[in-house]
Structure 1
């Protein structure tokens, strides 16, 4: 009788796993418990194939959780229709009813299983959290993962994105994008006090948090970003001056209440008017090849403060370059 997979020595099983792709390993897990335990054993993590996903979309709606894993060979869908103590799980077109289970626990466990095969850093992960009743339990279970998710860009569409930010690997994260559930013209309140203390926030290079009100007392936590885009109720000339002296590259601030160009002129002198509604001031920086431009833009009754480093040759001839 030919030996079965279960009876093979561990060295032989390791060699087999090295030749399998991600989907084949998932299939092999369902053959029997011994194979599943062998594949799931942390000792064998290094020999598992890389799923090589570039993007993951996580959607949490009323009574529904959906994952979309996207790679160069297409997408894999996992959908969970949730009812009390049960759910219907659909893997691509295959459907299965699960009874007497915690549906959120099942969904996150499956996600964790798929992410276990992700060795390379993903380009993007999107969390679209629309059901606040499921959000807390979903994020608590995600935080139990042994390995943080390795991704360059994190996009969170949620009213409270803090817990989601903490589950990604801070060492590889480059960009944080946060949005309320629905884009609105009105500012959305958010407590930034915990988010700005995370390693993810401190290590990220870019931030886009438009539509959330950013607190003035946290302005110092924007200056390490190479690009930041936030909304603030109002900002003083002194606070703008602080950003001028500390920003790394580009900070854009949209204000609910205008800042007066006249007040800025009293601080820095006359502006260089680039447009009917735009006033510019230019400053030298420590980098001799670049300058800092501050733009007060009064269009549409909103104010956009842009702090950017530019090459000196691109400024208007009549602009005065100010010293810090």
Structure 2
């Protein structure tokens, strides 16, 4: 059955002002309306899409987040069919595979979204074949400002990460899904070769260490991650890099297990500022002038197992601290 011209115009007018929850509800009214919606692909206001995949529990979930609403939908295997739950409602579909229905709906969601997402999140231990098929079937890469993935290792990330548009991606967040007491060491050697990595401006990790040279992270204007080892030379490289970006640099945090060449700190970085506050006796701080900004100061703070690099106002520098010019430090090395 086809919609009449008048009915089609009315439905299109409704869809124009409908959020994703309303669009999904309308798709369930009848096959004719569902087919029309799938053909028209009305734009929704979804900003964040978060997918959680668990083949062991035969259960997939999706969160659709707009500026005003959160829609949570669960698809799970039940007897010979699939139970779909959302908000306070649920529906059982007989003789249908939960994963097939899930990815069919995900395709509709992606087709109905506006061009740019704020964040696309993936949570899974192992990336299922259905997600790989879904991503490969797309004619265009996913346009999102941020890619977030919670999983087990680089090989899983690499099944998804390359499918994002490098021209739009600005933030990367990678998190270990395992609740280990001791953080694992992840390889990220394949990730750092991608344009998506090289074009991004922000990077964060949680629950694992990486072991790549510090120069692979210098293009990030905001970063938060952990490494096995860091050195005095790495601190010097960080200073030399971020002193050039007073207007765009935000924050760089790196946790570490081992600090190398600590005896060379004064010769490479200058004499650190040591606070007289007994609660800060293990802190070393260096302050540097930006070449083209008289109001901001680059600060490097070294404490056991942590390095912080950020900007502060000139007025926030302790009176007793020495503010170094870049050329002053170059004379030391």
Shift of 1:31: 5.6
Normalised to the residue count of structure 2, the TM-score between the two structures is 0.78
Contact 1:261-1:296 within 8 A present in 2 as well: no
Moved more, 74-83 or 111-120: 74-83
- CA distance in structure 2 between the aligned counterparts of 1:203 and 1:264, rounded to whole angstroms: 32
CA distance in 2, matches of 1:317, 1:262: 26
Q: Would you say 1:7 and 2:7 are equivalent positions? A: no
User: What CA deviation, in whole Å up to 9, does each residue of 1:54-74 have, x standing for no partner?
Assistant: 433322223211112233553
TM-score (norm 1): 0.80
Relative to structure 2, which stretch is displaced further, 79-88 or 247-256?
79-88
Q: d(CA) in 2 for partners of 1:81 and 1:26? A: 18
Report the Cα offset of residue 86 of structure 1.
5.2
Secondary structure of 1:112's match?
helix
Q: Do the aligned partners of 1:89 and 1:95 also contact (CA within 8 Å) in 2?
A: yes
Equivalent in 80, 88, 97 of residue 83 of structure 2? 88
Q: Compute the displacement of 1:280 (Å).
A: 1.0
Question: Do structure 1's residue 318 and structure 2's residue 315 form an aligned pair?
Answer: no
Structure 2: unaligned runs, 5 residues or longer: none
Shift >6 Å, 4+ stretches: none
Structure 1 runs not aligned, ≥5 long:
none
Question: Is the 1:58–1:68 contact (alpha carbons within 8 Å) kept by the matching residues of 2?
Answer: yes
Match of residue 286 from structure 2: 281
Give yes or no for the alignment of 1:60 onto 2:53.
yes
Where 1:53 maps in the other structure, the secondary structure is: coil
> What is the Cα deviation at residue 233 of structure 1?
0.8
Residue 177 of structure 1 aligns to a residue in which SS?
A: strand
**SS of equivalent to 1:189:** strand
After TM superposition, the structure 1 = structure 2 runs for residues 49-128 of structure 1, keeping only pairs within 5 Å, are: 50-61=43-54, 62=56, 63-82=58-77, 87-92=82-87, 93-99=89-95, 101=97, 103-119=98-114, 121-128=116-123
SS of residue paired to 2:52: strand
SS at match of 2:240: helix
Correspondence for 1:159: 152
The match for 2:38 is 40
